[in-house]
Structure formats: C-alpha cells, structure tokens
Amino acid sequence: MKSTHDAAEHRTAGDRPIALLDEHAHAWSAETARARFRDGLSGPTAGVAAGRTQANLISVPADWAYDMLLFCTRNPKPCPVLDVTDAGSWSTALADGADLRTDLPRYRVWQDGDLVDEPTDVRAHWRDDLVSFLIGCSFTFEWALAGAGVPLRHVEQGRNVPMYVTTRQCRPAGRLHGPVVVSMRPVPPRHLTSAIRETSLLPAVHGGPVHCGDPSALGIEDLGRPDFGDPVDAEADDIPVFWACGVTPQAAVMASRPPFAITHAPGQMFLTDARDEQYRVV
C-alpha cells in the first residue's frame, strides 16, 4: 500500500464532487442519481440525493464470502453491513430495480490484491459467483452533522472527504486481515460534542468517532497527504476528528490479496432508496 498517495492523486484529479457539477444534485431522488451514474456521471457523492442512505460496495467470489461476512461481523465499526446479495445477483433490497454493476459512479477492480481497472460500469468484469456486501457510509451521517450546525469542510471546499490508512489493525477473519481506514473531518471545538453525539446515534453508518485529535495516535504522519480522497484545509482551531471508514475492506483486499474483487471507488457511493432516519437509534 505504499503507492496509495500517488494513486489517490491520479484518481481524484478528474473527478470533481457531483454536487459541484450540478447544483440540483442534493434534490435528486436516489433513482435519478443512479440513472445519472448509469449514464456515465462520476465523482464523489457527498451531498447527492440528500436524505437517502449511501453505501460502500465490495463484491467477492462466493468462496471468500464467509470470510468477508466474518470480517465485517468482527469489525462492525468500519464494516457495518446493510445488505448481502445472493451469489451472482446484482440487485439489492436497498434499492428496487437497481443494478450494482452499473449504478455507482465509479468502481475499482482488483486481481490478487492489485488495482487493475477503475471503470464506470463493471458488467464486463462481473462473475456469476460474486457475492456483494453493501456497507454503511459516513456520508449518511453528514445530514445529522449539518443539522446540528457542524461545518463540513470538504463540502464547503468542494472536495472528496480525506481518508487515511491507520496503524490500527482489524480483527482478522479467515483469510482476511488488514488495517482500519478512517475518514477525517475537521471540527471546531465548540461543535465537537455535537459531532460525537449525532454520529453515535447512527451506528449502522460507522457511528461515533474512533479518535479525536493528534493524528499520530493512528499512525497518520501528514493530514495533507490522505491515502484516498482529497486533503482538506482546516481552520486554525479545528480538531481533526476520525471516523471508521467503509474503504477498510479495500485495505483488506490489498493486504490479503484475494484472487478477485470489485469495490466502489473511494467517495463514489451507491445511492440506496433507504432514508437516513431509518438508521438513527432513539
């Protein structure tokens, strides 16, 4: 994973946030968003189809599916499972009529742990033995942060959220192992309590932060060089706040090197028909 910084710079250069490309994207239905992605629109999806739950995707061969399910079960903070498909199926109960092969903005295709393609349509790569996991995404809790007055610097600056590979290790499961990946949002001190409270009420989309403050405690040396996404400019008194991230399974793919996998491109999520409020605990 030493090349992730250079790869991240290459990947994000041509993918502006969709909310910048179309000022009406926040008001799209999830179905409209998926149709636009199916037609080739790509880019980070923060703020798209406001109120609809966003999800990470990872598809693995059926003989790796139990390992992946066990990995998610043992690591629920970074890998909260929202749905699991039957082998070969490209549909999900989370979005009626959706096609997981075409309805994300951009995908990543992996062979033996190496990234080999980043298409906007994976029908040519699809296999009849693939089992897909849809995993909660922190973009879903951003509506709660915004509603509580917590500023979202990456949204303000028109950037993808920064994501970092940490030195914290997930609990291994079968053949799968790897580090925890986190997303980071700078939060002013006066909003820190609200940020922790609001996200903790949404455990199905990563819940509360895993760390606040000094990034070196997570093994992060430079906030200006995220492994995925874009660097974000913080205000002088902002505190870096880190949430577990659904890119963690991709880090496990890189570390564990299964023969094949398909994932979403970091920050470019699947838009479900589920409403964000459905995952809020009372």
Return the pLDDT at 23. Answer: 86
CA distance 124 to 117: 11
Q: Return mean pLDDT, the chain.
A: 93
Neighbours of 55 (CB within 10 A): 28
The predicted structure's pLDDT at residue 200: 97
Task: List all residues 6 or more positions away from 114 whose beta carbon is below 8 Å from its beta carbon.
Answer: none
Instruction: Express each pLDDT in 186-229 by its tens digit.
Output: 999 999 999 999 999 999 999 999 999 999 999 999 999 999 99
pLDDT of 3 reads: 40
Q: What is the pLDDT of residues 94-121, one digit of tens each?
A: 999 999 999 999 999 999 999 999 999 9
Q: Which residues of the chain have pLDDT under 50?
A: 1-14
3-state class of 154 per DSSP? Answer: helix
Quote the CA–CA distance of 58 and 19 in Å, as a whole number: 24
pLDDT of residue 19: 85
Q: Could you give all domains of the chain from N- to C-terminal order, each with its CATH number?
A: 7-137+256-279 (3.40.1640.10), 141-244 (3.30.2040.10)
- How many CB atoms within 10 Å of residue 106? 23
Q: Which one, of 126, 68, 70, 113, lies nearest residue 258 by Cα?
A: 113
Q: Tell me the pTM.
A: 0.92
Position 213 scores a pLDDT of 97
Cα distance from N-terminal residue to C-terminal residue, the chain: 39
What local confidence, expressed as pLDDT, does residue 6 receive?
44
